[in-house]
Amino acid sequence: MPVSSATDPALPGHVAIIMDGNGRWAQARGLERSEGHREGLEATRRAVRFYAEHGIQSLTVFAFSSENWGRPRSEVEALFELFVTAIEGELPELVERGIRLRFIGDRATFPPTLQTRMCEAEEATAGNEGMCLVVALGYGGRWDILQAARKWVAKGGAEADGDAESTFAAELSTTGLADVDLLIRTGGEQRISNFLLWQAAYAEILFIETYWPDVGEKDFERSLAWYAQRQRRFGRVSAGAYSATEVPGA
Ligand code: FPP
């Protein structure tokens, strides 16, 4: 059963963003791709401020995918350095805003300094009650489903008590978070790229042409206005399409 955390149905409870276009933004300006990632961090800060101020309960951003390991070593190292700097630099504001920071993904092979900063930041914000900022690092939707499946089977899986979909979802890295309501991808491509495959099963998907470093408040405002116009049916029919007695559970 899809789960939404939104208390106001016109507002998404969980927004997820594929922050794409950093490299092309930099290349179009004759800059190193790492400059695009640095500028992308500014856009991420704008997104966090905007969605937190608009009462969004969870914001998940895709910062490094399982597949990004295949990029040139220099770019991967520059990204890891940026992540360390970002965590150190942004932590005071996250604490001040009451934002809880959580990382999802396979962090086992990350540089030790990055792993340490990730743990420290999660611990420092664990008691916060504002928006939950989820940063997907070393994340892949297939990795998530596989690691959940292993744990689920080890706990008895289908033979265990409870609704199988719920007990399985509880083993995903996003446990405790509602499903994604609004998934945004910037940079002009129209694909999911192994992001939250299970969690975004019923997400409304908004594709934006703009490269991530140029995305700002106007785009975020438009995303909420666009979402408010969506009719979410979760595979059912629109209200009024049948009489109430014809619809199971109505
Ligand atoms: C995709 O653009 C972007 C990334 C792989 C990195 C995203 C990272 C940030 C925005 C920094 C945020 C940091 C934190 C800690 C949240 P791309 O390189 O695939 O761009 P391209 O498609 O134009 O090549």
CB atoms within 10 A of CB 35: 18
Residue nearest (by alpha carbon) to ligand 1 atom 7: 63
Residues with CB under 6 A from ligand 1: 19-24, 37, 40-41, 44, 61, 63-64, 68, 82-83, 86, 135, 187, 212
- Per the document, the length of the chain is 250
Task: Give residue-wise pLDDT tens across range 94-146.
Answer: 999 999 999 999 999 999 999 999 999 999 999 999 999 999 999 999 999 99
Task: Give residue-wise pLDDT tens across range 6-62.
Answer: 678 899 999 999 999 999 999 999 999 999 999 999 999 999 999 999 999 999 999
Nearest atom (ligand 1) to Cα of 62 = 7
What CATH class has 14-139+182-229? alpha beta
Band (pLDDT 50/70/90 cuts) for residue 161 is confident
Nearest atom (ligand 1) to Cα of 33 = 18
CA dihedral sign of residues 50, 53, 56, 59: positive
CA-atom Rg of the chain in angstroms: 19
Residue of 68, 106, 128, 194 marked catalytic: 68
Residue 62: left (phi > 0), alpha (psi -120 to 50), or beta?
beta
Ligand 1 centroid, distance to 190 Cα (angstroms): 16
pLDDT of residue 239: 67
H or E element: which one contains 115? helix 112-125
Ligand 1 centroid, distance to 37 Cα (angstroms): 5
| DSSP conformational letter for 125 | H
> Cα separation of 198 and 93, whole Å?
31
- Model-level pTM? 0.93
Ligand 1 centroid, distance to 221 Cα (angstroms): 21
Residue nearest (by alpha carbon) to ligand 1 atom 4: 63
Q: Is 68 a catalytic residue?
A: yes
Residue nearest (by alpha carbon) to ligand 1 atom 15: 83
Task: Give residue-wise pLDDT tens across range 194-243.
Answer: 999 999 999 999 999 999 999 999 999 999 999 999 998 888 877 667 66
- Could you tell me the residue ranges of all domains in the chain? 14-139+182-229
pLDDT of residue 8: 84
Band (pLDDT 50/70/90 cuts) for residue 148 is very high
Residue of 8, 20, 214, 219 marked catalytic: 20
CB contact set of 174 (below 8 Å; sequence gap of 6+): 60, 104, 134, 144, 196, 199
Residue nearest (by alpha carbon) to ligand 1 atom 6: 63
Ligand 1 centroid, distance to 43 Cα (angstroms): 10
19, 61, 108, 192, 212 from 70: Cα distances, Å:
18, 20, 17, 18, 21
The structure tokens listed for 34 are 């790492």
Residue nearest (by alpha carbon) to ligand 1 atom 11: 41
Pocket test for ligand 1, best of 17, 18, 20, 113 (most atoms within 8 A of CB): 20
